Structure 1
C-alpha cells in the first residue's frame, strides 16, 4: 500500500475561515484523509515585515505573490490592524472539521511569534507558547492534541523535549526523507518524527520554469517511484485552500492514479513498526526555495 500523508498547516485567520471549507470539500470528493494543524491564537501575519532583512526573503516573496495569496488585510494584522484571535473566532469551524472525520493537531499559538522567535528562545518561552496553544486546543476540542507540527519548521531543543513531556504521540516538525526517532543534543526524544518529504508549492513556483499550471507535474515525478515509508506533503490553507486549489486538485488526481492512499499523520504513524525506526540527529539547515534555516533530519545516530 502506497501511503501519502497530507499535512495541512493553517497559518492565518483568513486561511482558516476561507481556505479550510474549500479543502474539506475537495478532500471529501477524493475520499482523502488529512491532518489539520491549527494556529490557535492571534493572527499577527503583518509582523512578518521584519523578515525583509533576511537573505533570500524578498526573492521568495517576489516569486510567490504573497499579497495575492494572503490579502492586504491579513498583511496588516498585528501592525496597523489588531490581529484576530483565530481559535476564538473559528472554533465552530474547527470542530466541524474534526466531526467530518479529519485528524487535527497543534501548529502554533502565534505563528509569526513562534516562527521568528523559537530558534533562539529559552525553555520558559517555548513552554509558554506550547502551553497556550494546548490550553486553547483543549478548550475547543475537549481533549489534548496528539500531534504537533512546528510553524515554519522552526524548532529548538526545548521544544522537542516538551513534546514528550506534554504527551504528543508523534510529530511532524521538520523536513527529511523518512520517519525517525529524534536525537536532541545526544539524547533521544520518544516522540517519532514524520518529516515533510516533498517540497511545497511556494518553494517551487517561479523556479526553473515552474508555474501554477505545471508545478503538479514536477511533484508527480517526485512520487513516481515507490518509497518504503511513502511521503508526507505539507500544504497550506492560504495557498492550496485558496488560489492554488486547482493545483492541489490536479495533484490529488495524479497521486490517486499513481496508487496512493491519502492518510493522516496518525494513520501514517499507526502503519509503522516504531521499534524499527532509526535514530537521527535533528539539525537546522537551509533547503532550496526557502529563506533562512529550518529543522531538518540530520545524520543517523549510531
Structure 2
C-alpha cells in the first residue's frame, strides 16, 4: 500500500487561529493524522509584496486570489500594521494539534524573512533564526522539536548542518522525488529529507484550465501512480476556502488505497540508514516563482 504523508505548513497568524482548527476537524472526520509545521515568531506577511519584481510572482498572485485566502489584514502585517507574534497569540491551536494526536514541528521563526533571505545569509544569521524557533517551540510544547520543514522551501548549507546539531531527526525542506540523506559540503548528514513530491494547490490552480472544481481530480491522478508521496498543504488554503478540495482529496486517496499519515509514520516505514545520498541545491518548480531547495544528483 503506497504511503502519502500529509505535511501542513502554517505560515500566518490567521492560518494558525482559523485554518488549523478547521483542518483538525476535517482530519478528525476522516480519522487521519498529519504533521503540522508552525511559524512561531512574527507574522510579516505584508513584506512579501517586495517580491513584486520576481519573475512569475504577479501572475501567481492574480491566479491564486491571495487576498481572499490570506485576508487584507494579514497582507498588511509588517508594513502598515505591526507583525503579531504568532507563538504568543496562537499557542492554543498549536497545542490542540498535538493533543489531537498529530505530529508537530518547526516551520520557521519569521516566515517572510527566512523565505526571502536565508539563501544569501551567513551561518550565524541562520543559527539565530533556527534557535529562536526551537526555543519558542519548546516554550509552547514543553519539549524540543524533532521535525523541520523550511519556509518557502528555502535553505542554505548552514541550515542543513544546523538541523543535525540542534537535534532534528526528520526534515522536509525541499522538493524532490523520494527520501534521501543530504550531502552538504562533502558531508553526508544524518537527518533524512522527505521532500515534497506533489505540486501544491496554489501551484496548480489557474494553470492549464485547473480550478477549484477540477484540481482535486488532477492531483489524484498524479498521486495514485503506485509510489509513496509527500503532499504539502497550507493551513491558509486547505484550512480555508479550499477545504472542500482537500476533503475531496482525502476521500479520493482513501478510495485509491493510499495510507495517509504523518511524516514520522512514513519515515518509520523506511530503512533510513540505507537511504541514497543526494546533493541539495536550488531549482525551479512549475507554478512557483523564484528558486527553491531541490533534491540533486546521487552522491
How far apart, in 2, do the equivalents of 1:37 and 1:158 lie? 20
Which residue number in structure 1 is paired with residue 278 of structure 2?
280
The aligned runs of 1:207-218 (5 Å cut-off) are 207-218=207-218
How far apart, in 2, do the equivalents of 1:166 and 1:13 lie? 26
Q: Deviations over 1:233-279 (max 9, x none)?
A: 00000000000000000000000101011111111111111122100
Offset at residue 185 of structure 1 (A):
2.6
SS at match of 2:90: helix
Please list every run of 5 or more consecutive structure 1 residues that lacks an aligned counterpart in the other structure: none
Please list every run of 5 or more consecutive structure 2 residues that lacks an aligned counterpart in the other structure: none
Offset at residue 141 of structure 1 (A):
0.5
Give TM-score, length-normalised by structure 1.
0.98
How far apart, in 1, do the equivalents of 2:273 and 2:152 lie? 29
The aligned runs of 1:1-302 (5 Å cut-off) are 1-227=1-227, 230-301=228-299
SS at match of 1:268: helix
Q: Deviations over 1:185-223 (max 9, x none)?
A: 322111000000000000000000000000011111112
Give TM-score, length-normalised by structure 2.
0.99
How far apart, in 2, do the equivalents of 1:243 and 1:225 lie? 28
Structural RMSD (CA): 0.7
Offset at residue 92 of structure 1 (A):
1.6
How far apart, in 2, do the equivalents of 1:233 and 1:61 lie? 22
Please tell me whether the aligned partners of residues 32 and 261 of structure 1 are also in contact (alpha carbons under 8 angstroms). Answer: no
Runs of 4+ in 1 over 2 A off after TM superposition: none
Select between 274-283 and 145-154 the one with higher mean Cα deviation: 274-283
